[in-house]
Amino acid sequence: LYSYHVACLAMTVRNLNSDQFALLEFKDRIAGPQNVLPNNWTVSTSVCNWIGVSCGILHKRVTALNLTSMNLRGTIPPHLGNLSFLLSLDLSSNHFYGHLPKELGQLHRLRILQLCYNRLNQEIPSWLGNLQ
């Protein structure tokens, strides 16, 4: 029983670290005038306490990313496709441009995707239809 709890804890930490890595890669590829993300999204605090990030109670994994109306600018990186517990992604009312990365198609739990009021320059990709 003891070794099971240690293994579960190690797996939770590793998985949360992969969520943290994905979000740090996202942060490194975007810019915002108030530096909200660079000042708040740091390794010194838990990813579950970062602005715009919500985590599940049971697994402590990132389940929602809500960065609406933060005046963020850049491309949406493929790393967000690694947030395997993500249920909701809201990047609306920002200045994202370019294409949606096909890696977002890996988000099998995703239920809400809000990208309106950005500068994305493509039609809705066919792989997006694979999401439930």
Angle at alpha carbon of residue 48, lines to 110 and 57, rounded to 5°: 70
Q: How do residues 92-106 score in pLDDT, each as one tens digit?
A: 999 999 999 989 989
**Domain ranges within the chain, ordered by starting residue:** 19-130
State which amino acid sits at residue 89: L
Q: How do residues 7-39 score in pLDDT, each as one tens digit?
A: 444 344 445 688 999 999 999 999 987 788 888
pLDDT at 16: 60
The band of 126, judged by pLDDT with boundaries at 50, 70 and 90, is confident
CB 70 within 8 A of CB 92: no
**Ramachandran angles phi, psi of 123, nearest 5°:** -75, 170
- The rounded distance, in Å, linking the Cα atoms of 35 and 48 is 19
Pairing of strands 53-55, 112-114: unpaired
- CATH number for 19-130 (one of 3.20.20.70, 3.80.10.10, 3.40.50.720, 3.90.180.10): it is 3.80.10.10
